[in-house]
Structure 1
Amino acid sequence: MALTFELDPAFDRSLRDGIVTLWADVSNAGGAVGFVPPVTVEDVRPDLVGHLTAMAEGRARLLVGRDEEGTVAATAFLTRNTHRLMAHWVWLYTVMVHPRHQGRGYGRDLMAAAADAARTIGGVEAIRLTCRGGTGVDRFYASCGYKEVGRVPGAIRVAEGDDRDDIIMLLPLG
């Protein structure tokens, strides 16, 4: 069964708890979403607060995917550029699909839903994201139509002696 996606859902405690649980589970499964395992929901919560602040200020939008039980199974945040010369593209952040749902095409569904959501934002012509090298996720994004447009070697320090490239990718929406 496919995930059901919703842009800008009503935010309540259940959604908050679902997102931090998803984020911790994805991180602990090795997902490159800003943390290195092990993490707890309490480790993740401050980063979610940052996203929520951006949402409250109108700078970010939340895309949530729910499974057949209504559990938060996927997320992505679309963030507008604040620089007037870059207002024609958005950032895509914190792209996650719960490990128990991976391998079913839900990641591709999430990326398509994110592109559809970006198209609803006036004046947006492209989506930009960054990803951690060495994970293979750049190949996944490429299979969804994103093109690598830049790379900063060794910009992400996962652990002492384990530096990864920061890969910049772009999806034109035209």
Structure 2
Amino acid sequence: MALTFTLDPEIDPALRDGVLALWADVTNAGGAVGFLPPVTADDIRPEWLGRLTELSEGRTRLLVGHDEDGAVAATAFLAHNRHRLMKHWIWLYVVMVHPRHQGKGYGRDLLAAAEAAARTFEGVEAIRLTCRGGTGVDRFYASCGYKEVGRVPDAIRVAPGDDREEIVMLLPLH
């Protein structure tokens, strides 16, 4: 069964707890979403509070996918670029599908929903994202139409002596 996507959902306690649990579960399963395992929802809460501030200020929008049971199963944040010369593209980040739903095509569905949402942003011509090298997720994004446009060597330190590339990818919307 497909996920049901909502852009700019009402942030209530169920959504808050669902996003925190998803973020922790994805991280603990090895997902490269800003943290290293092991984490708890409490470890992620300060980052989530920062995202809530961005949402309330209109700088960022939240896309949420719910599964057939109504649980938060996928998310992505779409952020306006604040640089005056770069307002023609947006950032896509914290792209997550719950590990129990991976392999069902929901990642592609999430990226398609994010693309559709981005097309509603006035003047936006592209989506830009970054991902951690060494995870293989760049191949997934490429299969969804994103083009690699750069790499920053040793940009992400996951452990002493374990530095990874930051891979920059772009999806033109025209």
What TM-score range do you get, normalising by the shorter chain? Answer: over 0.9
Structure-1 separation of matches of 2:78 and 2:136: 22
- The equivalent residue for 1:21 is 21
1:115-154 correspondence runs (5 A): 115-154=115-154
Deviation of 1:162 after TM superposition, in Å, equals: 0.7
1:68-83 correspondence runs (5 A): 68-83=68-83
1:15-94 correspondence runs (5 A): 15-94=15-94
Kindly provide the CA deviation profile for residues 117-136 of structure 1, in whole angstroms up to 9, marking residues without a partner as x. 00011111000000000000
- The equivalent residue for 1:12 is 12
Deviation of 1:18 after TM superposition, in Å, equals: 0.2
- The equivalent residue for 1:106 is 106
Structure 2, unaligned stretches of length 5 or more? none
Structure-2 separation of matches of 1:12 and 1:130: 29
- The equivalent residue for 1:171 is 171
Amino acid of the structure 2 residue aligned with 1:144: C
Structure-2 separation of matches of 1:34 and 1:12: 23
Deviation of 1:24 after TM superposition, in Å, equals: 0.1
Question: What secondary structure is seen at the aligned counterpart in 2 of 1:157?
Answer: strand
Structure 1, unaligned stretches of length 5 or more? none
Structure-2 separation of matches of 1:154 and 1:139: 19
Structure-1 separation of matches of 2:87 and 2:12: 29
Structure-2 separation of matches of 1:11 and 1:152: 35
Deviation of 1:84 after TM superposition, in Å, equals: 1.0
Structure-2 separation of matches of 1:65 and 1:116: 14
Structure-2 separation of matches of 1:30 and 1:11: 26
Percent identity (aligned): 76
* TM-score of the superposed pair, with normalisation by structure 1: 0.99
Deviation of 1:154 after TM superposition, in Å, equals: 0.8
Please tell me the root mean square deviation across aligned C-alpha atoms, in Å. Answer: 0.4
Structure-1 separation of matches of 2:142 and 2:53: 30
Question: What secondary structure is seen at the aligned counterpart in 1 of 2:85?
Answer: helix
Deviation of 1:50 after TM superposition, in Å, equals: 1.0
- Residues paired across the two proteins, number: 174
Question: What secondary structure is seen at the aligned counterpart in 1 of 2:112?
Answer: helix
* TM-score of the superposed pair, with normalisation by structure 2: 0.99
